Amino acid sequence: MADWVEEKLHKHFRASYEVSRVLYKETTGHQSLVVFENPTFGRMLSLDSVTQTTEADEFIYHEMLTHVPILAHGRVRRVLIVGGGDGGMLEEVLKHKSVEHVTMVEIDAGVVEFSKKHLPTICKNAFEDPRLNLVIADGAEFAARRTGDFDVAIIDSTDPMGPGEVLFTAEFYANTKACLTPGGVIVTQNGVPFMQAAELKGTVTRFRKLFADAGCYLCTVPSYVGGPMALGWGTDDASLRKVSEEELDRRFRAAGFDTRYYTPAVHKGAFALPRYILDILG
């Protein structure tokens, strides 16, 4: 009989994944890390018994948190990533040759090192890129120092529990905004609204006090069960959300790389929200 690992993120709902083989297991000073193989999802990374990323569907989450703000902005040179120790977000950002510098702030050096070893299909050679400044530090403390001026800030956090909880506070969002250039964009992961409505509402409520344009857009990641995933959006340049599909297509073609989920049409459609999510946002 096959072994199964049970995820208990949601109070009244559990998901189980078949484990073909455990590749890595360790408890660091910050969290419990496990990498295992699943016949459908390939290698899966779990932190504190919650699925973080999988080889099979990581491209969806990473493409949408990266290419939507960068292509909407159109002039991104400097990017801040908070979290993202698996390197998937970094790998997508670096596909944009117009990006000259990326600062990535990860609290746990252990996540980076084991991702290089056990999740190489996700990070590829991203950590070797000379445009990267890797900072091993608490993301909230880094933002509080207001170090650097960034056109886009991507908050690739875990859910609001443990080390990730501070990355959902009003103070953190205000400090991160202070790190942005005028008209810069912050995007965040906000879970599955059908199961985690309070998480999304909390972020957007705080964004509305900080930004002229605040809301979210959606993508569907199979391993994040419970419906489409919400990605928070905040900027003082409301025109960025209104960039035409034709202009997005021009920018995407000029960027010169392929995607597996993102398209300019998907970009535009992702901001069209179903009524139950509009009701959550209020």
Task: List active site positions.
Answer: 156
Cβ atoms of residues 73 and 240 within 8 Å: yes
**If you write DSSP's letter for every residue of 162-228 in order, what string do you get?**
GGGGGGGSHHHHHHHHHTEEEEEEEEEE---TTT-HHHHHHHHHHHHHH-SEEEEEEE--TTS-SSP
* Four-residue CA torsion sign, 167, 170, 171, 175: positive
The 3-state secondary structure of 114-153 reads HHHHHCHHHHCCHHHCCCEEEEECCHHHHHHCCCCCEEEE
Cα–Cα nearest to 152, from 215, 234, 229:
234
